[in-house]
DNA sequence: CGCAGGTTTGAAATAGATCAACGCTGGTGG
DNA sequence: CCACCAGCGTTGATCTATTTCAAACCTGCG
């Protein structure tokens, strides 16, 4: 139960708009759109009608790109926009009393950072980037409008929120109930599945830009121990990790070792079968 | 990270209706109603109109009373009714691979057990009683009807779900980031506040029917250690526990020791100030 | 080249687990 | 009414997963 002791200075994200960009988000295929990963993921729940997809896309007021290690949403504030990850990795986190950072969850493309603010008057945790990242912004009013006028989209957003709750519960189980090595195995299985669910990979490798400290802060163990545990998974031939690329060499083995049962992710059959 | 090793036999709750009762839930004051604690708690978010309160009350199809240690909702099933705790304590839980029970959260009067089923097609965890308890049942169709036709109630339910998510995050932080003694202190602070928020106490004591194993399974430590940690809090004069009654002797002290900051509970000013 | 940020290694220290036993209390059955 | 037993709380001694501290190493970059 250690984690970073060094207090990261909280570089505050500059006001949205100041640092806008398109294209920074990477080369987008013709016809592809910023929130495709989200729409893809929602497909696990229901097929959204064209019109709904369109309304969703048109709700985006702007896109912002921010550097690595910047706070996008601060604790106790109430952002004016709901953020959706387009590109890059971010995380939810809180600081502990002694300055260590507890990572509550990772956010990858397609994840909604803060529906909470549609109803809650302050964020109970912060969100910051782990890599350079870009976000799509939807104003709070628009979100409320959706809730009140488009039941399909409303359900879709509520669904995403319930799934996130489920994932949070599993993280809880993982960290309270499993030893460090299984904990890491489970976490990696989940990340692989989430990439699949958002249409970000179809193979057994994923882009893995996190440093060991980022993993340590999420699992509640020290970097040193994270390192040793990671080595173990590698030497057991379960994973390989090279050049920011994570490959799961033995999916069944890793799943079994980490007691990973994807049902808590509430994915469709299609996603589950590759 | 131990918890119960003994597998409790999963006495399945008998079909709803078989074991109905009113009154079992305790003497109810004239004009008082089964879901008052829930309505009281929702008051932290918004004042529900008379009509909405009434609609809510009338949605209840029946009340059931069940004994201690019974499964009310099983993992992987999809209950036909949403359950609201009227009386007694229950918990969300999952079993770990080795048979230990991980408690994900406690449910006290006013808590909704399973809104999830309005949208998700299976429960990703189970719910069982920790004491004899009674529940109010609302059919799934009714809940969907509410979502689609009564925006105030829909918001209220969504709010409760978001708050629960926030609480789950804090449990995560508590268990991954704090040592056992602070962990217990934090947990007790939360339980005290939740009782207050649901209008179940106005003093510094609460009914506390849990056994040490129940606490251990929630904190992810052994009973033995739970026992020692509990003794520490007692001998430090922070709490007293006698005859199933928990008294917080030094609220400020306990809060400080457990790093408890109630903002994550999203309560109203009124609730926070006594 | 030198340095910062990240990974790796080793040795010593500790929170919490494990194992085993004892004691209390309330209920049940003879 | 007593004897017994089950469930729960408590204690002590030993063991272990993980922390802590400290240093070395690697690599890309200004």
Taking residues B131-145, what's their average pLDDT?
Answer: 96
Q: Which nucleotides of D are covered by protein (CB under 7 A)?
A: 7-13, 17-22
Paired tokens of A213: 């400290």
**Residue A228 CB partners (closer than 8 Å, separation 6+):** none
With CA atoms as reference, the chain B residue closest to A219 would be: B176
Separation of A43 CA and D13 C1' (Å): 57
Sort out which chain B residues have CB atoms less than 8 A from A100's CB and list them.
177
Is residue B159 within 8 A of residue B1, CB to CB? The reply is no
Distance from CA of B173 to the nearest CA of A (A): 7
3-state class (DSSP) for residue A59: coil
B26 touches strand C (CB under 7 A): no
CATH superfamily, domain B36-164, is: Jelly Rolls (2.60.120.10)
Inter-chain CB proximity B121 and A162 less than 8 Å: no
Contacts 24+ apart (CB under 8 A), B257-261: B257/B181, B257/B182, B257/B185, B258/B178, B258/B182, B258/B183, B258/B184, B258/B185, B258/B186, B258/B187, B258/B188, B258/B189, B259/A96, B259/A97, B259/B178, B259/B182, B259/B186, B260/B185, B260/B186, B260/B189, B260/B190
C-alpha angle B266-B179-B93 in degrees, rounded to nearest 5: 60
Q: Is residue A18 scored above 80 in pLDDT?
A: no
Whether the predicted pLDDT of A52 surpasses 90: yes
Q: Which pLDDT belongs to residue B243?
A: 85
Residues of B in contact with A166 (CB under 8 A): 116, 120, 124
CB–CB contact B148 A148 (8 Å) = no
Give the three-class secondary structure for B187: helix
- Does the C-beta of A211 come within 7 A of strand D? no
Name which of B11-25, B146-160, B184-198 the model is least confident about: B11-25
Whose CA is closest to A104, among A171, A56, A59, A163?
A171
Predicted confidence at residue A33, as pLDDT, reads 84
pLDDT of amino acid A30 = 60
- β-sheet bridge partners, residue B12: B71
Answer yes or no: is pLDDT of B143 > 80. yes
End-to-end CA distance of chain A: 35
How much is the mean pLDDT over chain B? Answer: 90
Report the C-alpha gap between A239 and A250 in whole angstroms: 7
Give the confidence band of B102 by pLDDT, cuts at 50, 70, 90.
very high
d(CA A157, CA A90): 20
* Average pLDDT of the residues in B247-271: 97
Q: How confident is the model at residue B33 (pLDDT cuts 50, 70, 90)?
A: confident
Q: Are B172 and A173 inside 8 Å of each other by CB?
A: no
Reduced to 3 states (helix: H, G, I; strand: E, B; else coil), residue B219 is helix
CB contact under 8 A, B94 and A173: yes
Q: Where are the alpha helices (DSSP H) in B129-179?
A: 140-149, 151-177
Domain boundaries along the sequence of chain A: 171-272
Counting residues of chain A whose pLDDT is more than 70, the rounded percentage is 89
Mean pLDDT across the stretch A219-236? 98
> Cα–Cα distance between B268 and B274 in angstroms, integer?
11
CA distance A57 to A146: 12
Q: Is A225 near strand D, with its CB below 7 A from some atom of it?
A: yes
Helix axes A180-197, A212-219, angle to 10 degrees: 110
Q: In the prediction, which pLDDT does B110 show? A: 97
The band of B28, judged by pLDDT with boundaries at 50, 70 and 90, is: low
Q: Which of B177, B220, B262, B263 to mutate to test the interface with A (most CBs of A within 10 A)?
A: B177
CB B241 within 8 A of CB B208: yes
Query: Nearest residue of B to residue A155 by CA position?
Result: B119
Please give the Cα distance from A150 to B196 (Å, whole number): 36
Q: Which CATH architecture group holds B172-272?
A: Orthogonal Bundle (1.10)
Strand partners, B102: B94
**Would you call B209 helix, strand, or coil by DSSP?**
coil
B82-101 tens-digit pLDDT:
999 999 999 999 999 999 99
Average the pLDDT over A108-112 and give the result: 98
Cα distance between residue B234 and residue B177, in whole Å:
22
With beta carbons less than 8 A apart as the criterion, state whether A92 and A107 touch: yes
Greatest extent of chain A over all pairs of C-alpha atoms, in Å: 54
B179-222: per-residue pLDDT in tens? 999 999 999 999 999 999 999 999 999 999 999 999 999 999 99
| Per-residue pLDDT, A68 | 96
Q: How distant is C1' of C16 from CA of B221, in Å?
A: 8
Alpha carbon distance B136, B71 (integer Å) = 15
For residue B105, the cross-strand partners are: B92
Closest CA to A105 of A85, A121, A134, A86: A85
Q: What is the pLDDT of residue B31?
A: 66
Q: Do the Cβ atoms of B119 and B143 come closer than 8 Å?
A: no
Q: Do B176 and A94 touch (CB under 8 A)?
A: no
**Mean pLDDT throughout A54-63?**
95
Do the chains contact at B165 and A163, CB–CB below 8 Å? Answer: no
How confident is residue B24, by pLDDT bands cut at 50, 70 and 90? very low
State how far the Cα of A218 lies from the Cα of A93, in Å rounded to an integer. 9
Q: For strand C, which nucleotides have at least one atom less than 7 Å from a protein CB?
A: 5-11, 15-20
Mutating which of A176, A182, A269 best tests the B interface, going by the most B Cβ atoms within 10 A? A176
CB-strand contact B222/C, under 7 Å: yes
Residues of B in contact with A119 (CB under 8 A): 45, 155, 158-159, 162
Domain A171-272 in CATH 1.10.10.10: yes
Q: Measured between CA atoms, how close is B107 to chain A, in angstroms?
A: 15
Q: What is the pLDDT of residue A32?
A: 73
Q: Which residue has the tokens 């009564």?
A: B150
Mean pLDDT of all residues belonging to chain A:
90
Substitution target in B99, B101, B147, B169 with the highest count of A β-carbons within 10 Å is: B169
Q: Which among A264, A260, A199 is positioned nearest to A233, based on CA atoms?
A: A260
Q: Does the CB of A211 fall within 7 Å of any strand C atom?
A: yes
Q: Any atom of strand D under 7 A from CB of A218?
A: no
Binary contact (B263, A148; C-beta < 8 A): no
pLDDT for residue A6 is more than 60 = no
% of chain A beyond a pLDDT of 90: 85
DSSP letters spanning A140-154: HHHHHHHHHH-HHHH
In the beta sheet, which residues pair with residue A103? A93
> How distant is the Cα of B23 from the closest Cα of chain A, in angstroms?
34
Contacts of B180 in chain A (CB under 8 A): none
Query: Which of B65, B156, B159, B173 has its CA nearest to residue A175?
Result: B173
Rounded-to-integer distance, Cα A236 and Cα A218, Å = 23
pLDDT value of residue B22: 33
Mean pLDDT of A185-213: 97
Q: What residue of A is the nearest CA neighbor of B182?
A: A97
Strand D lies under 7 A from the Cβ of residue A220:
yes
List, in sequence order, every residue forming a beta bridge with B92; answer none if it has no partner. Answer: B105, B127
A33 vs B166, higher pLDDT: B166
Average pLDDT for A93-97: 97
* Contact criterion met (CB < 8 Å) for B158 and A158: yes
Find, among A118, A68, A169, A65, the residue nearest to B92 by Cα. Answer: A169
Whether B2 sits with its Cβ under 7 A from any strand C atom: the answer reads yes
Please state whether strand D lies within 7 Å of residue B139 at its CB atom: no
């Amino acid at each position: 139960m250690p984690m970073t002791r060094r207090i990261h200075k909280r570089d505050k994200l500059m006001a949205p708009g100041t640092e806008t960009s398109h294209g920074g988000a990477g080369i987008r295929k013709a016809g592809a759109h910023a929130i495709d990963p989200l729409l893809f993921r929602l497909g696990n729940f229901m097929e959204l009608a064209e019109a709904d997809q369109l309304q969703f896309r048109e709700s985006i007021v702007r896109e912002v790109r921010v550097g690595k290690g910047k706070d996008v949403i601060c604790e106790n504030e109430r952002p004016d926009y709901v953020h959706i990850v387009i590109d890059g990795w971010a995380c939810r986190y809180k600081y502990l009393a002694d300055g260590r950072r507890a990572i509550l969850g990772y956010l990858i493309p397609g994840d909604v950072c803060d529906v909470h603010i549609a109803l809650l008057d302050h964020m109970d945790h912060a969100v910051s980037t782990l890599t350079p990242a870009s976000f799509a912004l939807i104003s709070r009013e628009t979100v409320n409008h959706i809730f009140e006028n488009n039941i399909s989209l409303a359900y879709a957003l509520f669904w995403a929120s319930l799934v996130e709750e489920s994932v949070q519960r599993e993280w809880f189980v993982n960290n309270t109930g499993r030893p460090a090595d299984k904990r890491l195995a489970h976490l990696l299985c989940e990340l692989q599945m989430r990439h699949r669910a958002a249409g970000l990979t179809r193979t057994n490798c994923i882009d893995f830009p996190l440093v060991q400290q980022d993993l340590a802060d999420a699992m509640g163990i020290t970097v040193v121990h994270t390192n040793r545990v990671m080595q173990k998974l590698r030497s057991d031939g379960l994973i390989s990790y090279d050049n920011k690329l994570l490959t799961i060499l033995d999916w069944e083995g890793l799943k079994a070792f980490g007691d990973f049962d994807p049902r808590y992710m509430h994915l469709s059959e299609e996603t589950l079968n590759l």
